[in-house]
Chains A and B, each alone.
Chain A
């Protein structure tokens, strides 16, 4: 079992590491309102891919099972779950609960 606040910590920790690696202070100081992708975002598409790969690994380590964060439904939502930290957090909670009812 993993809570929303634990998932948020995972995301913020990964963003902090990426921010250091990419020299982007805004990512180091990320909050729930930080934009991840799209206009005025600090991650480019490759950065987002890296973040997703890192988070899949983190969730796998925490839950002891495979988690895929990319599926057709996620990609076709009107509000992309990858647009902002809070959206991504809610999406991860949803994915984790879906696959572990």
Chain B
């Protein structure tokens, strides 16, 4: 049975993806700050803060000490914030960069070493259409996810010789807690721009991830979007 590590499994896309992988026979490890409602014999949860490098490194080392191999890492944990650029508190910008970018960086680095030893693996960084659309009102969020996109491209180059594929999967607004605070008009506008006027359900987002998981033609370093990016 293949093994996956997903960050941010307590709710939203991370939880839905974990449940889908479990139903498909995967073993799933979840890194999350808050406890998940997932109860499954093949689900192991570790409550931790992925912005803490040593904590992440230690948690991944525990996996390798227990001879766990990882076929898949999904860097999913993240947060968003809607603010006009000039009114965005510095602390908000810092917190988003810390969680969205550094959280992904620490996890990718720790799991990357494990996958280098395996000489194989797939790393998926969850990103957003907000970056290529340069969405107004989301400067701090877009900047943090743009950093994740850059990380994806560089990691892909460095890890390809070791048999590791790194891709980004980007979504428009998915029906989760993350988008609840965004106005309906704003969501409709974004969904129109990416050619998905009805928006994106969790189910559709998970299906998109599975489509890529099962693809034989993934291009490492590529950012794939669910929706049309102009």
Contacts and interface: CB of A to CB of B under 8 A. Distances in A.
Interface in B153-201: 158, 161-162
A6 to B, nearest CB: 19
Interface stretch (B9-17, B33-41, B56-64, B220-228): B56-64
B64 A60 contact: yes
Contacts of A66: 54, 57-58, 61
A57 B58 contact: no
Chain A binding surface, main DSSP class: helix
A50 interface: yes
B57 A68 contact: yes
26 contacts: A46-B158, A46-B161, A46-B162, A49-B116, A49-B158, A49-B162, A50-B116, A50-B117, A53-B113, A53-B114, A53-B116, A53-B117, A54-B117, A56-B113, A57-B64, A57-B113, A57-B117, A60-B61, A60-B64, A60-B65, A61-B65, A66-B54, A66-B57, A66-B58, A66-B61, A68-B57
Interface string B107-119: 0000001101100
A56 B57 CA distance: 11
Contacts of A68: 57
Contacts of A49: 116, 158, 162
